[in-house]
């Protein structure tokens, strides 16, 4: 078992003042907190310039490498007054018109970025080997595959750009040092310059150098290529921390303050497209990992209350109770973080999708709850968000949607032959459910066809920097975007499962068992959004079974649909011969999917958000948290290898004491023991949320858990706000 250096729980250190100041400066500059776009806006003109300069290069690999190097030569650099690490979003150096023209030009060119791909690069590799060591690996691989020369040259060009980027930051640190009157700040800037004199060219020797190397690579990649998650930062920095502590070079307090600052730096370059993953297990999948840095980062999460990066906590049996309590303290601090992941189930799910134990054990939740193997994956996920309740609308309407959808979702308008009959022709519930299953099969087939087309057509995308830090690419001589990565699984997303279950349960009871209404009459009520059918609406909402309440018959429907989706996807292989598997979370798209979905027989009104997770989304789970989690665990989470989100809203009024918190932790561990993969908490009362709708300026920094990620409540669309307010809030009794 891995323990802290002191063999006791590390002390809490007050949040570093510079971390607080840095976070405040970033939020003041970007009050809407959409900092991913700030990074793109600040760099779009130099990116467009680099693309123009090499537009005539015929070899796509060389073109990608030249562009990567040139972007890192051109993008502005800036070191804020409170920064300890020399990376961050530059000020806008160009006019709005120039940025608009640059975006328009880039839209006509092969993309520089991955799309719907979820990766966490191998930051430890850069820290351990340095660019010099990676060049040696590239040279050896090219000797084995001389026909792949332009690919390997693209990687060398991108790595050269990374070193140039570091030197430019070092030059800026020295410039600021020479003009700085404060001796303490001069010393910080000198430390930055000294670190960047070694990394990333050479391997890191100290914790400070390791942090610089990781953040430099992170920002460089996110500036121009893929949205890599920073991943298991406490895990890959831990050896350097231990080495420094053993040598007496640093103190716990100093390391804690560096972690606080590192977290604030991450706010600079991301919104919800980045994630920090803490604790978990070692490569064997069973030995628990945690360390002092885990505690220090959790303390920073609780103190800074930042909307991003998204924070995940990996539970592995054998971790101390004190660590779980420290993680849950972030929840009660009102951060919306972390989401809790269960290592045994998550690893088993990834192995089921074809990963080895070592690949699966080193997973990160990437962005929201999407799962990826750190430094090994180029996974397609979080990209379609199939609405599982929409087929019911189509069936009730005799084969056409009540509300038409466009684009990717136009397939809802195409009904397979023999699937749909007029509502009055269904003699039994089994007939109706069989039609739902046939329609669902057709939808899944459409998702597979479209995904294969999308994945095969990369339009010249080359990601040479990211490919240098994704296992398999150098050995195979291919970019991660083109099949070079070891893990290329595909994980389409699904929303609206709880609505589909409740709608089907209502149809079974109201139409076929109690004969309270005909299917045609129910369809008419849904088309009218229950106008003139208020009594029926009340009955559907309050008297029909609802998923999430430990109701065996409704849970059985859940198992049938969940299993059918999993089995259909499991039979497929993507264009790289690797697995399909589902994931269940909605990001913000369960709001968009709901906006184009008519009223449904569960009593949901037209336009309301559909459920964005496996449970606990819209107030139908009225029998308490144990009943909710019992329903959720009737499903085999290992069949959702792409990841799941499960919401549990807690009332601050009844979860206050240490005993209450211990009861919540017992509930969490029991849920994990029953087979739960993930659980996330909201810790805010409905009255506060309602007031935030009326007085948004007074609640600008109120954070809530949405459907896999945390965000500011006041920044959400109205239908998502309404969905969060409607969620059941539980105690622990």
Does residue 35 or residue 223 have the better pLDDT?
223
Is 295 in contact with 11 (CB distance < 8 Å)? no
pLDDT of 513: 98
CA–CA distances in Å: residue 657 to residues 251, 328, 363: 33, 13, 33
* Cα–Cα distance for residue pair 45/53, rounded to 1 Å: 12
Please give the structure tokens belonging to residue 356.
């080895």
Please give the structure tokens belonging to residue 418.
């023999």
Largest CA distance in the chain: 85
Is 9 in contact with 320 (CB distance < 8 Å)? yes
Phi, psi angles (nearest 5°) of residue 495: -130, 170
Question: End-to-end distance of the chain based on CA atoms, in angstroms?
Answer: 33
pLDDT of 491: 95
CA–CA distances in Å: residue 365 to residues 370, 613, 645: 5, 15, 11
Residues 6+ apart with CB under 8 A from 350: 359, 360, 363, 371, 373, 641
Closest CA to 87 of 231, 233, 192, 236: 192
Residues 6+ apart with CB under 8 A from 205: 198
All CATH 3.20.70.20 domain ranges in the chain, comma separated: 386-647+712-730
Is 456 in contact with 580 (CB distance < 8 Å)? no
* Cα–Cα distance for residue pair 276/397, rounded to 1 Å: 45
User: Model pTM greater than 0.75?
Assistant: yes
CA–CA distances in Å: residue 66 to residues 108, 134, 228: 18, 18, 21
Is 302 in contact with 276 (CB distance < 8 Å)? no
Residue 265 exposure: Cα atoms within 13 Å on the Cβ side: 26
Closest CA to 384 of 277, 249, 495: 495
Strands 363-366 and 379-381: unpaired
* Cα–Cα distance for residue pair 308/115, rounded to 1 Å: 20
Does residue 381 or residue 526 have the better pLDDT?
526
At 124-138, the pLDDT tens digits run 999 999 999 999 999
Q: Is residue 196 predicted with pLDDT exceeding 90?
A: yes
3-state class percentages of the chain: helix first, strand second, coil last, to nearest 5: 55, 10, 40
pLDDT band at 529 (very low <50, low <70, confident <90, very high): very high
Please give the structure tokens belonging to residue 650.
């807690």
Is 60 in contact with 478 (CB distance < 8 Å)? no
pLDDT of 4: 44
At 427-476, the pLDDT tens digits run 999 999 999 999 999 889 988 988 888 777 766 678 999 999 999 999 99
Looking at the domain 386-647+712-730, which fold is it?
Answer: Anaerobic Ribonucleotide-triphosphate Reductase Large Chain (3.20.70)
Q: Is residue 366 predicted with pLDDT exceeding 80?
A: yes
Closest CA to 639 of 678, 585, 581, 564: 581
pLDDT of 716: 77
Sheet with 379-381, edge to edge strand ranges: 117-118, 379-381, 490-491
> DSSP string of 642-664?
T-B--EEEE-TTT--SHHHHHHH
Q: Is residue 6 predicted with pLDDT exceeding 50?
A: no
């Amino acid at each position: 078992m891995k323990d802290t250096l002191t063999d006791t729980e590390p002390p809490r250190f007050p949040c570093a003042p510079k971390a607080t100041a840095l976070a405040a400066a970033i939020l003041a500059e970007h009050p809407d907190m959409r900092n991913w776009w700030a990074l793109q806006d600040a760099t779009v003109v130099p990116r467009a310039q680099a693309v123009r300069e090499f537009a005539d290069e015929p070899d796509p690999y060389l073109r990608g490498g030249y562009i990567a190097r040139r972007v890192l030569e051109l993008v502005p650099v800036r070191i804020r007054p409170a920064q300890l690490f020399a990376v961050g979003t530059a000020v806008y150096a160009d006019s709005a018109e120039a940025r608009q023209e640059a975006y328009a030009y880039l839209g006509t060119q092969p993309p520089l970025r991955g799309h719907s791909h979820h990766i966490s690069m191998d930051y430890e590799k850069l820290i351990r080997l340095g660019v010099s060591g990676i060049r040696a690996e590239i040279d050896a691989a090219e000797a084995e595959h001389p026909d792949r020369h332009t690919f390997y040259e693209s990687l060398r060009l991108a790595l050269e750009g990374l070193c140039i980027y570091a030197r430019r930051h070092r030059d800026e640190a020295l410039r600021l040092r020479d003009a700085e009157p404060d001796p303490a700040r001069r010393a910080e800037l000198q430390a930055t310059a000294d670190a960047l004199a070694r990394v990333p060219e050479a391997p890191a020797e100290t914790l400070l150098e390791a942090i610089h190397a990781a953040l430099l690579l992170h920002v460089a990649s996110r500036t121009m290529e893929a949205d890599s998650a920073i991943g298991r930062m406490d895990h890959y920095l831990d050896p350097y921390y231990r080495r420094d502590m053993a040598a007496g070079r640093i103190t716990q307090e100093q390391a804690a303050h560096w972690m606080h600052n590192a977290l604030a730096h991450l706010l600079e370059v991301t919104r919800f497209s980045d994630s920090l993953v803490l604790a978990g297990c070692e490569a064997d999948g069973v030995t628990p990992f945690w360390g002092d840095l885990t505690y220090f980062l959790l303390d920073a999460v609780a103190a800074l209350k930042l909307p991003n990066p998204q924070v995940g906590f990996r539970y592995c049996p054998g971790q101390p109770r004190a660590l779980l309590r420290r993680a849950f303290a972030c929840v009660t601090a009102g951060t919306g973080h972390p989401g809790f992941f269960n290592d045994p189930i998550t690893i088993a799910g990834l192995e089921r999708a074809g990963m080895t134990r070592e690949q699966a054990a080193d997973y990160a939740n990437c962005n929201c709850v999407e799962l990826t193997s750190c430094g090994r994956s180029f996974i397609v996920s979080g990209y379609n968000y199939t609405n599982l309740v929409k087929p019911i609308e189509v069936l009730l309407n005799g084969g056409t949607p009540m509300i038409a959808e466009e684009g990717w979702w136009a397939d809802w308008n195409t009904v397979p032959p023999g699937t749909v009959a007029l509502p009055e022709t269904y003699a039994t519930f089994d007939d109706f459910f069989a039609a739902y299953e046939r329609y669902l099969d057709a939808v899944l087939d459409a998702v597979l066809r479209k995904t294969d087309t999308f994945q095969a057509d990369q339009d010249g995308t080359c990601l040479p920097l990211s490919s240098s830090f994704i296992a398999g690419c150098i050995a195979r001589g291919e970019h991660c975007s083109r099949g070079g990565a070891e893990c290329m699984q595909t994980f389409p997303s699904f929303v609206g499962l709880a609505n589909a279950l409740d709608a089907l349960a209502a149809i079974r009871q109201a139409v076929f068992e109690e004969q309270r209404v005909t299917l045609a009459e129910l369809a008419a009520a849904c088309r009218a959004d229950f106008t003139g059918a208020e009594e029926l609406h009340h009955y559907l909402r309050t008297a029909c079974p609802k998923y999430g309440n430990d109701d065996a018959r409704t849970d059985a429907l859940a198992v049938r649909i969940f299993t059918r989706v999993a089995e259909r996807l499991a039979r497929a292989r993507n264009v790289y011969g690797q697995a399909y598997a589902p994931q269940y979370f909605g990001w913000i798209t369960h709001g968009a999917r709901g906006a184009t979905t008519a009223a449904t027989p569960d009593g949901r009104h037209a336009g309301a958000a559909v459920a964005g997770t496996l449970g606990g989304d819209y107030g139908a789970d009225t029998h308490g948290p144990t009943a909710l989690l019992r329903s959720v665990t009737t499903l085999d989470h290992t069949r959702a290898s792409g990841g799941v989100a499960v919401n549990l809203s807690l009332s601050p009024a009844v979860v206050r004491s240490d005993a209450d918190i211990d009861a919540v932790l017992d509930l969490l561990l029991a849920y994990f023991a029953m087979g739960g993969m993930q659980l996330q908490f909201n810790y805010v009362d409905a009255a506060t949320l309602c007031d935030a709708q009326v007085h948004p300026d007074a609640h600008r920094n109120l954070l809530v858990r949405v459907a896999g990620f945390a965000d500011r409540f006041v920044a959400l669309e109205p239908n998502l706000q309404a969905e969060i307010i409607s969620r059941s809030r539980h105690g622990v009794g």
